[in-house]
Structure 1
Amino acid sequence: MREFFSMGVVVSALELLQNGGEFILLGIWGILLAVCRRRVFRSVCREAALEGGEKGRMLRAMTLKFQKSYEVHVEISDRDTFVRKYICQEKRMRVSLPRWRYLPERLAGIILCVGAVEVALLDWLGYGQGLTWQRGTMALGSAAAVLGLSLLLEVDSLWEQIHILLLDYVSNTLYPRQIHVYEAFEKETDAANSFAKGIKGQRSEKEKLADGQVNDEAQKTAQKNATAIPLTLKKEEEKIFQEVLSDFLG
């Protein structure tokens, strides 16, 4: 049963390819991509909008990014570039937003290239013009369907709307907060520097006092030694000393 089912699938696939079914499949895939792209960008717009004071996922992520920036004292001056880089880094279904923006149009270009190659190959192999024109027409039709739906569901306006929403949030909410935090950091650093200077001044004064006390003690001892009374002997004591010395030397 399984072998019969697999053989049926292979036969139907070959018949589909012989009738130009690959262009039909590529066209359906391109239409689905155009519809999915529109839904993706609408969801991103909802996440970037500040509705009712509640932050979406993108706003929360950008808030964390700003917190990390001012925690390490990194000021964000070019807000427009920061927002554009953030949008370009966002991914949906493992595909970045810039790729989603042009994905259906690129698939339409791939369909045209496949159709041109297939038409040239069939003409070189000597197939009839009927089959060649059929494949070319199917390729053009599939690409036109994908491009038409892409234009109908274009997302350039949504892209700009996302950029405006995030830039407004950064400029009016996060950037003033960042400036306030920087001012707080400057006050803290000034207080810390003044405290450190005060401690250094106190230490230097204590060292000066200690050095002054040591110098005063040295001066006092020198003065005492200088003012001490010299040792003198009386005449009788000097005679006795000389006699004892002469007896000792003998």
Structure 2
Amino acid sequence: MPDEYNRIIIGVVDDERFTRIGLQQELWRRSPDGYKLMVVYGPTVQSLFTVFDKHEPRLPKPHIVLLDLMLKDDSNVGDNVQAIRERDIPVLVISNMPSHETTRQAYSAGASGVVHKQRSTDDLIADIFEVIKGRIIYTKAFALAIKSSADYPDAKLSRRQKETLALYSLGYSMIETGKRLDPPLLHGTVKTNLARIRDKYLNVGRDVEGFANIRKRAYEDGLLTYELFLKSLEDDAYNVIDGEQN
């Protein structure tokens, strides 16, 4: 969490001007004690980072970006999320009508959550702080969007490799992944297994460079099941929180 003046810089990508202004005013007004939520916005991902690049270092990179799922430039949510993640900035996607496909695209590209635009300001602020801490916002919509697809070449992972990939893709460290396997595996063995998993995906032409792509493969192959998420929510070592609206 930032120390200097406890200022949280939030990038907002939304091409609706009144939405951007309203969000800016609400986040500033409802800033938690000891913090000020400062919003910098742009109608596209590129325009947002043009602002940050132009004013660097006086304006440091954002702690998080709130990304509208549907932009008028017809850009793809997966591409937008990936462009933001390439700068090592967490992304929280906001939308009025997230479909299973677009939700899946967002998470697969590395988004930390997909939440409804009608979410209360207090809940959104809570989500923002959780994502900055490195956590994933879990929703039922996310669980419903996780489906196996026959359109992807089969990497022919073993049962053990699938279990390893699923746990690791959830956000567990290699050590924590090894502890949760049955029987447990040492850190070095988990590391070796992940290397073999990467090789199998590469052999069928599926990119596994970096954690975002590893997680994407797990989503595509239906390894992150609803039951696995429910179980993980009870685990203190897990970095996922329940962000579903009541």
**Greater relative CO, 1 or 2 (CA 8 Å, sep 6+):** 1
Q: TM-score normalised to the size of structure 1?
A: 0.18
Q: TM-score normalised to the size of structure 2?
A: 0.18
Structure number with higher helix proportion: 1
Structure number with higher strand proportion: 2
Larger Rg: 1
